[in-house]
Structure 1
Amino acid sequence: MTMDRRSVLKHLGGVGVIGALAGCVGVQKQNEQSTQSDSGATEGGNSKATEMESSGPAGTAKAWYQLSDTEVPLREEALQTFNDQTKHTLDGSDISNLKKKTTSAIPAGQGPTTFEWAHDWGGDYYQRNFVVDKSDALSVSLDTFTDGATEAIQFDGATIGLPHSAETVALIYNTEMVDSAPETVSEMKSVMEEYHDPESGMYGLSCPFDGYFVSAWAQAFGGYYFDHEKETQLGINIDATVKGFQFALDNLVPYMPNDPTYGPQAAAFAEGNAPLAINGPWYLSTLNEKGIDYGVSKLPAPEGGKPTPYTGITMWYFSKAMEADNASTQAALDFIEWYTTNEDILLRNAKEQGAVPVLERIATSDELPDAVQGFSQAVQQGVPMPAHPKMNAVWTPVKDALTKAFNGDADVATAMDEAAKTVRSNWE
């Protein structure tokens, strides 16, 4: 199972999850040399466009992406702006099953020049020669982006795309119940204890209990799931990781609804039946629809540890078609560099779609909406999900083990030992 929230959430029921997908992908940025315009996204980026007019022939390139209905108009507007300001032509297509389409079209020589998705496809696609290294062709420094985003777009020393937004889970609190976000888990427990009353349909916390949502605590005390550079690559059953899982089981689960899956957990907070939730930016449109007054903050710190959630970095990949040194490749590269550094569009998407920027100079800007600032702070706490192909075999066994622990069917250490055996068997 490959973990990406679009593939996972679109199959979930309850609390308008499908509608919530509008909340997180689509950050767009202006080149750092561009002149900023007060008139909005459609007039930004002229200095970069002028540079492109005077260098090389015009090119036509294909850009593929998979977006929700509410995200498409801004994407099409960005493409039109680029085309209007340059001699190039970028043809964009919204693809309903991007993974299936890219894995069949790219090796057949019929794929896009560039495509957009989270970074966790990177290792698999690079090893299969679906994407290529363009580090020598870039005019944008990787220092332009946050450290986590820069890490995410590289695999085995190759730069396989440029990033434009991030997502992770953060603490969401009902401002009608909680005056300010708790800064420690101890403070968080005080809030949860005050409201937790299952017999009355009230809970202290809403939080899906699987490997992605629990990663912050699993990695809070030095644990990890997978690290291909470590001698013990698989870390799900090492002492530090088990300690983190146990911490979540002891300190969070007692205040949650008794079903660990996304729908029931998300519903508790969205229906006003919990003061706190741990969820991602895609959840905010559901809360807006439900009329919940909320705030967003980074995750509270446990005593002796540091919450370290997994982050996803959405990027424009350098597809295999960009291996050739031609006008089409240059058109795609010019577009990617323009798009991933366009501040005007980035800020607009943050305000309209809840997108979390990874452009360093505005990643924590006061211009970002309060909720986006909260998620941005949580992103700073986190680490990118491993992009190595081996990670694909880790998610499902971890989820199954956590479900057993949640339901009291096995202790955490035993469940994770069994999960580790399953993962290693799948690797073989």
Structure 2
Amino acid sequence: MRKKLKIITMLVVGICFTSMLGGCGKPYQGSAEKDSKEIVVWSYLMDNEVEELNNIAQEWAKENGKKVKVVKDNSPFQSFLQAANSSKGPDLVFGLTHNNLGTFHQAGLLAEVPQDFANRDDYVNSAVWDAVSYDGKAYGVPLSMETYALFYNKDKVKEVPKTIEDLVSQAKAYGPSGFQFSMNEFYYGAAFVQSYGGYIFGGDKGSLKVDDIGLANDGAIKAYKFLQDLVQRDKFMPADITADIANSSFKSGNAIFYIGGPWDISGFKDAGVNFGVVKLPKINGGEAKTLMGVQAGFVSSKSPIQDDAWKLMKYLANNSGERLYKIGNRIPVLKTELNKDEIKNNEFTQGFISQTSSAVPIPNIPEIEAIWKPMDNMSRILNGEDPATVAKDIEKAVQDNIKASNN
């Protein structure tokens, strides 16, 4: 199950990146000295996806008289850095969650995307390019996107709620467990924080300010209070709610509304639930601002054959969308792919695509790692502590984590 846009997997990798120490995967050994004419691709995708990626890469290689080697890689950042600096590293990386790009960018390992590489109007929205950009320049290529949305039970919900207040009202009328999701995980809670006016880091797109943390402002506190009320006042779910508990409640019919992602679809189908997927209802009078992950590719600045690497990248980006969607449910970012019948006629996929129009990319800087542990304090809020007090503790912990990572 590709839970949370592979955030769990990639954050584990990200922690290794930050610490610069091994232990999160077997480093790619490579050959002592790679063939300079061979384009080496490292991929962080799932096994079956890497297999298909290799098929696509070999098609390009055959057409162009080139040699391409595709390798599944889970090695930590330090191993990548050592390989890149010793001619053993890849020329191209395909399928890395964009919020991990910051560490590579900081180390100078990302080659800038050529100006004529792609027409950005061909992509679903500008946010997917914002996710791979720094200071107005793109250093990665968006490949697919993921966010979460609202699941609802078609047999028990007569009208899809347009506002969060309407959702709460319908859930109350149904029963005590009518609405559940993994509220303790900030990945999901961020939709409420950002919709009420909170934010992770301030600054402009591609130029975030880590000293401007918006997790304790008035908007964030209002969001924490709203989430607290769902537990303490409305009794929809326990304070220690988990993804498994919420998922099971929706499967059994105890919950008629559930917030989740594409990774939940197969389980609900297998359980025989008659469900639909739509974008989240309006929160605080506006479109819900969920977090979005973008799978990206980049060319190594250390590669001696960058021209060929970019040509291969273009082929992979333009020809992998539908094929990776079929085997991995990854939602493409190119409009031509999204307009294909298999995607256009899939109501579940369309629900997630609709949500991406207001989704906010996870910050793509190394300091993003500093927020996840402090946000575990959400459990204190859900257990009834004062949201404003806990918010200050969250902000202080994030600040301390950033300082520690810079020392």
TM bracket (short chain)? 0.7 to 0.9
Question: Residue in 2 aligned with 1:354?
Answer: 329
Query: Which of 251, 271, 285 is the aligned partner of 1:290?
Result: 271
Question: Residue in 2 aligned with 1:25?
Answer: none
Residue 393 of structure 2 is aligned to residue 418 of structure 1: yes
Residue 96 of structure 2 is aligned to residue 117 of structure 1: yes
User: Alpha-carbon deviations, 1:206-233, whole Å to 9, x = none?
Assistant: 3342211111110113221112447761
| Aligned-pair Cα RMSD in Å | 2.9
Query: Which of 117, 121, 129 is the aligned partner of 1:143?
Result: 121
Question: Residue in 2 aligned with 1:171?
Answer: 150
Q: Is the 8 A contact 2:90 2:300 kept in 1?
A: yes
Question: Residue in 2 aligned with 1:154?
Answer: 133
Q: Secondary structure at the match of 1:234?
A: strand
Q: Secondary structure at the match of 2:46?
A: coil
Question: Residue in 2 aligned with 1:19?
Answer: none
Q: How does 1:71-220 map to 2 (within 5 A)?
A: 71-97=49-75, 99=77, 101-115=79-93, 116-136=95-115, 138-145=116-123, 146-197=125-176, 202-220=177-195
Distance 1:318 1:179, change over 3 A: farther
Q: Is the 8 A contact 1:205 1:252 kept in 2?
A: no
User: Alpha-carbon deviations, 1:131-153, whole Å to 9, x = none?
Assistant: 222334x4322333221111111
Name whichever of 174-183 and 374-383 sits farther off: 174-183
Q: In the TM superposition, what is the alpha-carbon distance from 1:423 to its structure 2 partner?
A: 1.4
Distance 1:302 1:134, change over 3 A: closer
Question: What TM-score, normalized to structure 2?
Answer: 0.81
Q: In the TM superposition, what is the alpha-carbon distance from 1:165 to its structure 2 partner?
A: 0.6
Number of paired residues? 368
User: Alpha-carbon deviations, 1:344-377, whole Å to 9, x = none?
Assistant: x423443443222211455476651211111011
Q: In the TM superposition, what is the alpha-carbon distance from 1:86 to its structure 2 partner?
A: 2.7
In 1, the alpha carbon distance for the partners of 2:274 and 2:238 equals 21
Distance 1:275 1:8, change over 3 A: same
Question: Residue in 1 aligned with 2:242?
Answer: 261
Question: Residue in 2 aligned with 1:6?
Answer: 6
Q: Which amino acid aligns with 1:333?
A: W
In 2, the alpha carbon distance for the partners of 1:287 and 1:321 equals 45
Distance 1:262 1:391, change over 3 A: same
In 1, the alpha carbon distance for the partners of 2:341 and 2:377 equals 41
Distance 1:101 1:65, change over 3 A: farther
Residue 382 of structure 2 is aligned to residue 401 of structure 1: no
Q: How does 1:309-348 map to 2 (within 5 A)?
A: 309-322=290-303, 324=304, 326=305, 329-342=306-319, 345-348=320-323
Distance 1:383 1:169, change over 3 A: same
Q: Is the 8 A contact 2:239 2:379 kept in 1?
A: no
Question: Residue in 2 aligned with 1:62?
Answer: 40
Q: Is the 8 A contact 2:132 2:138 kept in 1?
A: yes
Q: Is the 8 A contact 1:259 1:265 kept in 2?
A: no
Question: What TM-score, normalized to structure 1?
Answer: 0.77
Question: Residue in 2 aligned with 1:236?
Answer: 215
Q: Secondary structure at the match of 1:306?
A: coil
Q: Is the 8 A contact 1:401 1:412 kept in 2?
A: no
User: Alpha-carbon deviations, 1:170-199, whole Å to 9, x = none?
Assistant: 1012223224532221221133113334xx
In 1, the alpha carbon distance for the partners of 2:4 and 2:351 equals 21
Q: Is the 8 A contact 2:198 2:216 kept in 1?
A: no
Q: Is the 8 A contact 2:43 2:50 kept in 1?
A: no
Name whichever of 415-424 and 366-375 sits farther off: 366-375
Q: How does 1:299-318 map to 2 (within 5 A)?
A: 299-318=280-299
Q: Is the 8 A contact 2:102 2:365 kept in 1?
A: yes
In 1, the alpha carbon distance for the partners of 2:328 and 2:231 equals 29
Q: Which structure shows the bigger proportion of residues in strand conformation? A: 2
